[in-house]
Amino acid sequence: MPARPCIRGTVVLLLAIVLLAGCGHDAGKKAEAKPAATATTAHKGAVIGVSLLTRTHPFYQDLEQGLSEAAEARGYQLLVQAGEFDVARQKDQLADFLVRKVDAIIVCPCDSRSIGTSIAAANAAGVPVFTADIAVLAEGVNVVCHVASDNVAGGRLAAKAVAEALKGRGEVAIIDHPEVESVIQRVSGFEAELAAKYPDVKIVAKLTGRGMKDTAFRTAEDILQAHPDIDAIFGINDDSALGALAAVEKAGKAGQVVIVGFDAVPEARAAIADGKIFADVIQQPKEIGRRTIEAVADYLAGGQVAPKVLIPCDLFTREAANRE
């Protein structure tokens, strides 16, 4: 009789071990079913508000495509709008994004300083802000990451092209757009390169064309009138360069004034192939879009995000155009 309690105790012990093993097996399965979030899986279905400078320019169309393709691959929803060079309109767009409680905001500022109040509002609401192509210059605001071309290096490339075309000597004008940070960087690089390496190439005028073809056309006309012997014009984007080309042709000076632009959009490439524009600095807008979404994904996944990502530029010349 004393042996029976022993047997029962052994059976109970064995059953407990089996049950515990089974529970451990189930727990392992559950752990495997819920892997840690990654930049690809985190916040799938996240809604991102995007306000571009414009949707009419080929550069921004390509940038938007890069954003869209990268967002689709991660299951993100983009709400894409554009300020169309109007900072007040862009501020309204960012305010609407906050009302809609987006998970992040991407902005290409129409005005690098004035947009600061909208960035501050997003900061206060706890919505992370990212900038693409154009940075924010307002003080006291937080931008998680800025992704753009290396515009200083691009400006230096433009200066080298001008100096090469002028054989190291001549007068040059800049059609500027000083409200925009990316342009400030381009002009800074352009001026620094000429000052350091080409002292006989003199900048004699720097006037705004607001990055738009019609305004740049009128600005170029003013430059040609004030400086009839001008040798070259640097347009800070292709609308500026193409506007300058139209003014030069209207003045009967085609082939006499060297024009260098920035962007290498199809119309400018055609003008370069025809020898009407000397060269263009070429950017990678799709890559800027892709890398911006990558930065958003890393942030939402809780990863480390670099405060600035610069994408290299290159020079597009007639030789390159003829290879296309």
**75-121 tens-digit pLDDT:** 999 999 999 999 999 999 999 999 999 999 999 999 999 999 999 99
Res. 32: pLDDT tops 90: no
pLDDT at 43: 73
Please give the domain boundaries of the chain with CATH numbers for all domains: 47-148+285-309 (3.40.50.2300), 151-282 (3.40.50.2300)
Q: What is the CA radius of gyration of the chain?
A: 28
Residues 133-171: pLDDT tens digits?
A: 999 999 999 999 999 999 999 999 999 999 999 999 999
Q: How far apart are CA 237 and CA 85, in angstroms?
A: 14
Which residues, in sequence order, are CB contacts of 283 under 8 Å at separation 6+? Answer: 59, 149, 154, 262, 263, 264, 311, 313
pLDDT band at 42 (very low <50, low <70, confident <90, very high): low
pLDDT at 113: 97
Q: What is the mean pLDDT of the chain?
A: 89
Residue whose C-alpha is closest to residue 249's, from 280, 274, 212: 274
pTM, to two decimals:
0.83
Q: What percent of the chain stands above pLDDT 70?
A: 87
Alpha helices of the chain — where are they, by DSSP H? 3-33, 58-74, 87-99, 116-125, 151-165, 181-197, 213-226, 238-250, 266-273, 285-300, 318-323
pLDDT band at 44 (very low <50, low <70, confident <90, very high): confident
Res. 175: pLDDT tops 60: yes
CA angle 85, 91, 92 (to 5 degrees): 110
pLDDT at 102: 98
**Inter-axis angle of helices 238-250 and 213-226, nearest 10:** 50
Res. 33: pLDDT tops 80: no
